[in-house]
Amino acid sequence: MANIEKHHYDVVVIGAGGAGLRAAIEARMAGMKTAIISKSLFGKAHTVMAEGGAAAAMGNVNSNDNWMVHFRDTMRGGKFLNNFRMAELHAKEAPDRIWELETYGALFDRTKEGKISQRNFGGHEYPRLAHVGDRTGLELIRTLQQKIVSLQQEDKKQYGDYDARIRVFAETTITELFQDNGKISGAFGYYRETGEFVLFEAPAIILATGGVGKSYKVTSNSWEYTGDGHALALRSGATLINMEFLQFHPTGMVWPPSVKGILVTESVRGDGGILKNSDGKRFMFDYVPDVFRKQYAETPEEADRWYTDPDNNRRPPELLPRDEVARAINSEVKAGRGTKAGGVYLDIASRRTPAEILKALPSMYHQFKELADVDITKQPMEVGPTCHYVMGGVEVDPDTAAAAVPGLFAAGEVSGGMHGSNRLGGNSLSDLLVFGKRAGEHAAAYTAGLSARPAVKPAELDAAVEAALAPLQRDGGENPYALHHDLQEVMGDLVGIIRRKGELEESIAKLAELRERIQKVGAPGGRQYNPGWHLALDLRNMLVVSECTAKAALERSESRGGHTREDFPKMDPVWRKVNLVCSLTEAGDVELTHQPVPTMRPELLDLFERSELGKYMTDEELTHGAA
């Protein structure tokens, strides 16, 4: 048995993004000894990259906004496949989570009256995104970290030790979860720098590991988004839902090749930017789908008036939900009206003054200047779709964030249900605050309610060590970088933005081949900072999550939100009632089952006009008043 460092905690949070930090604060404030584990450096989670803002119906800029309007927008954006209870809790609680952040020290941009300012974003009826320029995620993470430091200072006073009740384990990757009689008992991982192993014995684990984008070749996601939390949940017997729904953000950089995929925030469009094809045509007016026609402007004149008079004009079509805009750009490029680099133009230079652009979009200005030598105050940007966000994720109880395995919780991007088939921009930062808090609270309550602590079994620990060491011990094994490249090719080419039956079948066959090869992955070198070894361990997570996505994408024979089937181009009301649930068989194979989407409560259904519901629901559902 290898030498293993051991720790005991009441609650272990895997992930130090917004969801993980908010969960950890809540668990610690409930009196739990809490660990925060992060694969990357502390403060370098995805949340820090969030630019546009956090959606919360505070009504600061337009007093017509309230939780019911936000709820409606979220359900529309998700094309009514959302877990309605999550969407309801999110819409109701997001304002409190934002105000609470200010009590932790956050400083959002202000309106002239001194209220928290809110900006427009796609799919949101009113200006709703609380923001700090285009660096909102940075402020969010800074504030949550500051709150953790203040809690540690309290602990230092009381116990003489900063780490007494909340400790951060940075650059530490979890590779296995353990169970005792079906209940969570701990987590196992390694320190990235030394390669030494570490065991956390804990009855409650909160997964806050973010998304899966690194399975795709063009993505806005960074190296740590390898679907670890999704895979850990699956392997421990929990379920994932709706993994076919991936958000391809319409505007990633397309040039130069080295930065392809890096995000261009939606705030550019929220603040007046428009999309043009290579003929100079503002093309989004040609792509407003019937379900949204009533809410979007028909002419450029009306769209432009909306920025100053939103009560009497309809929104510009550039602010349609992301799936619609991404498909429109894809169609323009395919029709030969794209740029040489395969994108379209996003123009803010001709729409706002340089001073306005520099104030609202400082990061975008620097990003384009430094990476592409483009001055966005003078020139248009070149943009195209990039894999950005996974709507599918760990199936959780909406109120408690509990997964199917006792002691396991999930919050933030790793969880599923809240966003249905497509997430609205800004709804992730608010989601991770609302459900991060709930996960922390309920994980603490779960631990407090246990009469005995589940124990980690030595045999399970041995197996985890063996699995972690295997790639190092395999001489002449498959190269992890080549495998990663091949996996990204399969997912990008065959399970991308537009999907077809034959290609999806091909992807499943290719993923099966990759599964065999990944079992033979080898990583030469020792355990001390060995990125090849780290990737080798991540690959099995990316693979199983990709299998869920490909199989669910083949099964769902309709187009909805972040899942577009060329062979089934329309939404099908019968499929709206179905969640696709992904689990693992005893043999470790991916299995799909159908599960009914929860039925919305009548008073929530009443928030929508019947004519609108008719676009999504079957006649039978409407007749019986259930959805």
378 in Cβ contact with 349 (< 8 Å): yes
Question: What DSSP string runs through 234-249?
Answer: HHTT--EE-TT-EEEE
Take residue 470 and report the two structure tokens written for it: 């295997």
Does 209 participate in binding ligand FAD (rule CB under 6 A)? yes
Asked if 39 touches ligand FAD (CB under 6 A), the answer is yes
Cα 317 to Cα 338: distance, rounded to the nearest angstrom: 19
In this complex, which beta carbon is closest to ligand FAD, that of residue 256 or of residue 569? 256
If binding is defined by CB under 6 A, does position 43 make contact with ligand FAD?
no
How far, in Å, are 359, 523, 621 from residue 534 at the CA level?
A: 40, 9, 49
Candidate list 314, 322, 556, 560, residue with the active-site label: 322
Radius of gyration of the chain (CA): 23
Q: What is the DSSP string of 490-550?
A: HHHHHSSSSB-HHHHHHHHHHHHHHHHHHTTB---S-STT-HHHHHHHHHHHHHHHHHHHH
Q: Which of 9, 15, 251, 437 binds ligand FAD (CB under 6 A)?
A: 15
Tell whether 16 is in a known binding site.
yes
Our finding on whether 87 is near ligand FAD (CB under 6 A) is no
Question: Nearer to ligand FAD by C-beta: 392 or 573?
Answer: 392
**Smallest distance from the beta carbon of 188 to ligand FAD, in angstroms?**
10
Q: Does 18 bind ligand FAD (CB under 6 A)?
A: yes
Closer of 385 and 573 to ligand FAD (Cβ): 385
Helix (H) or strand (E) run with residue 75 in it: helix 67-77
How many residues are listed for the chain in this entry?
627
Is residue 224 a contact residue for ligand FAD (CB under 6 A)? Answer: yes
Asked if 126 and 117 touch (Cβ cutoff 8 Å), the reply is no
Whether residue 355 is annotated as binding a ligand: the answer is no
Please give the angle made by the CA atoms of 323, 121 and 342, to the nearest 5 degrees: 45
507 known member of a binding site: no
Confirm whether residue 526 is marked as ligand binding: no
* Residue 561 assigned as binding residue: no
- Residue 179 or residue 220: which is nearer to ligand FAD going by CB? 220
Q: Is residue 88 involved in binding ligand FAD (CB under 6 A)?
A: no
Tell me whether the omega of the peptide bond preceding residue 256 falls within 30 degrees of 0, making it cis: yes
Binding residue for ligand FAD, selected from 74, 117, 136, 185, defined by CB under 6 A: 136
Query: Among 301, 293, 304, which Cα is nearest to 269's?
Result: 304
Q: Which helix (H) or strand (E) holds 595?
A: strand 590-596
Contact residue for ligand FAD among 155, 413, 486, 503 (CB under 6 A): 413
Active site residue 322: yes
The residue (of 46 and 76) whose beta carbon lies closer to ligand FAD is 46
Residues 6+ apart with CB under 8 A from 612: 291
Q: Which CB atom, from 145 or from 519, has the smaller least distance to ligand FAD?
A: 145
**Residue number with the smallest Cβ distance to ligand FAD:** 17
CB of 570 to ligand FAD, least distance (A): 29
Binding residue positions: 15-20, 38-53, 228, 249, 265, 388, 413, 423, 428-429
Residues forming contacts to ligand FAD in the complex (CB under 6 A) are 14-20, 37-40, 45-47, 49-54, 136-137, 173-174, 208-210, 220-221, 224, 228, 263, 389, 412-414, 425-429, 432
Binding residue positions for substrate: 249, 265, 423
